[in-house]
Amino acid sequence: MPHESCRVGESFGRSRRVCETVPVTDGPALAIFDLDGTLVDPAGSITGGIAYALEVHGLRVPGPEGLSSMVGPPLLESLRRVADVPEDLLDAVVHTYRKRYISHGMAESRPYPGIPELLVRLRQRGLHLAVATQKPENLAKRLLALHGLDAHFHSIHGAPDETLPPAADGKAGIVRAALTANHALPARSVMIGDRRHDAEGAAANGIPCIGVAWGFAPEGELDRLGLVGIVADADELERTIGAVVLRAAEAPAC
């Protein structure tokens, strides 16, 4: 029978008590993961590929900090904002980058330490797992399959091809697709990511977000996002996921 489930949540620095009349024990506990910078270390394949594509087209290459900031957001957004790529060259730069990423970049990337084992343990605990990334969905699936990670996930969600306009709701819509595909309640779900886009996508769907310290966030970015935790390794991540999504089923009544 439905009853009121309450939790104390934070969204971008503001604490609030959230009460919903929902059957909190219905639906799976769901952990939604970002991809690059969270599950998989691109090992320079993204930044190197962007630099290569810019050089090929005679464009300015940002410094290391600027290139790193381009990992996570939609590529078109980063090319405009960070690299000042003219509109008439965007499609060509993306095509050059994507061709090199497929031929070289994916093979250079590696899962972060402890991540494959973590995914196995979370599945054994009965959690549903999903991926929500702003990488094009077809490439996300290829990358996960290359590293043998795809079988751990109940669903994988990404952006449309990068030559197409991004969805108006960005990461929020991708996270929402993961919730819908898994018939999961926000009260029993959590997002895991390394950038502000992950926290924003989670907040837009009413779910908490855990930050990982090994990704590509500029210094101080994660500290400003009102995350439920920032973790340093896969073991700490497992404990935090369990604390967030498994205790939600036992939340006290209002």
Domains of the chain listed by start with CATH number: 3-41+110-250 (3.40.50.1000), 45-108 (1.10.150.240)
Q: Is 36 a catalytic residue?
A: no
CA distances from 239 to 28, 100, 221, 229, 246 (A): 18, 38, 23, 11, 10
**One of 34, 36, 194, 198 is an active-site residue; which one?**
34
Give the mean pLDDT of the chain: 86
pLDDT for the residue 23: 41
Report the chain's terminal Cα–Cα distance, integer Å: 16
CA dist., res. 74 & res. 133, Å (int): 9
- Mean pLDDT for 105-132 is 96
Characterise 226 by phi-psi region: left (phi > 0), alpha (psi -120 to 50), beta (else): left
DSSP states of 114-128 as a string?
Answer: THHHHHHHHHHTT-E
pTM: 0.80
Q: Is the dihedral angle over the CA atoms 243, 248, 253, 254 positive or is it negative?
A: positive
- Mean pLDDT for 167-174 is 83
Higher pLDDT, 45 or 182: 182
Strands of the 128-136 sheet, one edge to the other: 155-159, 128-136, 30-33, 189-193, 209-212, 229-231
pLDDT confidence band for 151 (50 / 70 / 90): very high
| DSSP 8-state symbol, 222 | G
pLDDT confidence band for 176 (50 / 70 / 90): very high
List the beta bridge partners of residue 164: none
Q: Is the pLDDT of residue 175 over 70?
A: yes
pLDDT confidence band for 104 (50 / 70 / 90): confident
Q: Is the pLDDT of residue 24 over 50?
A: no
- Mean pLDDT for 76-93 is 93
- Mean pLDDT for 69-87 is 89
Q: Is the pLDDT of residue 6 over 90?
A: no
